[in-house]
Amino acid sequence: MKQKANYKPKQILLSKRANVFYLEHARVLQKDGRIIYLTDTGEDVEQYFNIPERNTIFLMLGKGTSITDAAVRRLSESNVIVGFCGSGGSPLFAMSDPVFLLPQSEYRPTEYMQAWVKLWFDEKRRLDAAKALLQRRIALAEAAWRGNTFLLERQILLANNKIEIFKHRIDTSADTTSLLLAEADWAKSLYASLAAGCKINHFTRNEGQGKKESISDRVNSFLDHGNYIAYGYAAAVLNTLGISFSFPILHGKTRRGALVFDVADLIKDAYVMPLAFECGLNLKSSDQDFRSGLIEVVHEAGLVDLLFDFVKEVVHID
């Protein structure tokens, strides 16, 4: 009898994958051809759970976690990005790459990176790409906020005058510095609208505090958590297209992973901010509730497809 050849099921397209995992106090390993994680329950018999790696975009490992080389190798074969982070999903710690451990493949496309580099070294095209990024952020935020039940119940809307002012400043900006100033004012207006609608007095955006003593602290904690999930999606898209994180169009030209921050912004205004305030107000909401909610809306809205399409549009490659 002929032996059956080893069969590997086809991978799901990255943009169609449904799963993102965040683990704490767990061991990730390969067992019987599967990726599993063991939980530390303190009992004699450890519980283990499967990770469907072929339907997973990225995996975040929090405090008290470990992973075997065999598991990393299999995750890499399935094009799953792995990152180590602090409690609650942030901050991400320095790795071989500043954002995530990336699957190493010599068969990723080259045309996107080549086109992106040509764009990046052309100052006018790079500025135009940054403007396109901000315009797309406005469009996504408008659409998402109009369909958000939590915001509608509290009559929290994107003010038309703020939108028009931001669009005008984008159109008339002659350099990146002007765009960054306009973006900062836009972000402040979004926080102000959300805080006023949620009746949170004197809200200030404080990153990396790790506190949950007040509603403002809870919102800030969820914002940190959500931003790093957004970075994971952006990193997965850019890595799949073979584009280096070192060629940003707006943020941090001295930071090696800044392009991840640029692309992740397409998710933040539209989805991370509103959900962070919603979960911040609900004292029963946990990190797991927030994480599950964000992953669900990202999947339902087809945002990974959108991120792929945007990057391709910027470099004019279909």
The predicted pLDDT at position 123 comes to 92
Residue 107 is predicted with a pLDDT of: 59
313 is in an annotated binding site: no
The reply to whether the predicted model has a pTM over 0.95 is no
Residue by residue, pLDDT tens for the chain (318 residues) are: 444 445 455 567 777 788 888 888 888 999 888 899 988 766 655 678 899 888 888 888 888 888 898 898 888 888 888 877 766 555 544 333 434 555 555 556 789 999 999 999 999 999 999 999 999 999 999 999 999 999 999 999 898 899 999 999 999 999 999 999 999 999 999 999 999 999 998 898 888 676 778 899 999 999 988 988 898 888 888 888 889 888 999 987 655 668 988 999 999 999 999 999 999 999 899 988 998 999 999 988 999 999 999 999 998 864
Q: Which of 58, 83, 131, 255 is nearest to 245 (CA)?
A: 255
Q: Which two tokens stand for residue 180?
A: 């960054």
E strand or H helix that includes residue 82: strand 81-84
User: Residue 149: its pLDDT value, please?
Assistant: 94
Q: Are 92 and 99 in contact (CB under 8 A)?
A: yes
Confidence (pLDDT) at 194: 95
Helix and strand numbers, DSSP H then E, in the chain: 11, 7
Torsion sign, CA atoms 110, 116, 118, 121 = negative
Residue-level pLDDT at 232: 85
Tell me the C-alpha distance between 318 and 312, whole Å.
6
Q: From 258, 317, 318, 266, select the one nearest 119 (Cα to Cα).
A: 317
Give the start-to-end residue ranges of the domains of the chain: 14-84, 111-314
- Gap between the Cα atoms of 130 and 133, Å rounded: 5
Residue 265 near residue 298 (C-beta atoms within 8 A): no
By C-alpha distance, which of 57, 76, 75 is closest to 15? 57
CA distances from 98 to 89, 109, 201, 246 (A): 15, 22, 36, 10
247 to each of 3, 108, 243, 304, how far by Cα in Å?
Answer: 49, 18, 8, 20
Per-position b or e across 282-316, b if 16+ CB within 10 A of its CB: eeebebeebbebbbebbbebebbebbbebbeebbe
pLDDT value at residue 99: 42
What is d(CA 132, CA 143) in angstroms, rounded to the nearest whole number?
17
From CA 116, how far away is CA 122, in angstroms rounded? 10
CATH 3.40.50.720 is right for the domain spanning 14-84: no
The fold adopted by the segment(s) 111-314 is: Four Helix Bundle (Hemerythrin (Met), subunit A) (1.20.120)
Kind of pairing, strands 56-61 and 19-23? parallel
User: Looking at the DSSP assignment, which residues form a beta bridge with residue 21?
Assistant: 59
Q: What does the DSSP assignment read for 239-300?
A: HHHT--TT--SSS-TTSTTHHHHHHHHHHIIIIIHHHHHHHHH-TT--HHHHHHHHHHHHHH
Helix (H) or strand (E) run with residue 224 in it: helix 215-241
Confirm or deny that 183 is annotated as ligand binding.
yes
Find out whether 155 and 197 touch, Cβ atoms under 8 Å.
yes
List Cα–Cα distances, 81 to 30, 117, 133, 143, 199, in angstroms: 16, 23, 24, 29, 38
Would you call 316 helix, strand, or coil by DSSP? coil
- pLDDT score of 93: 44
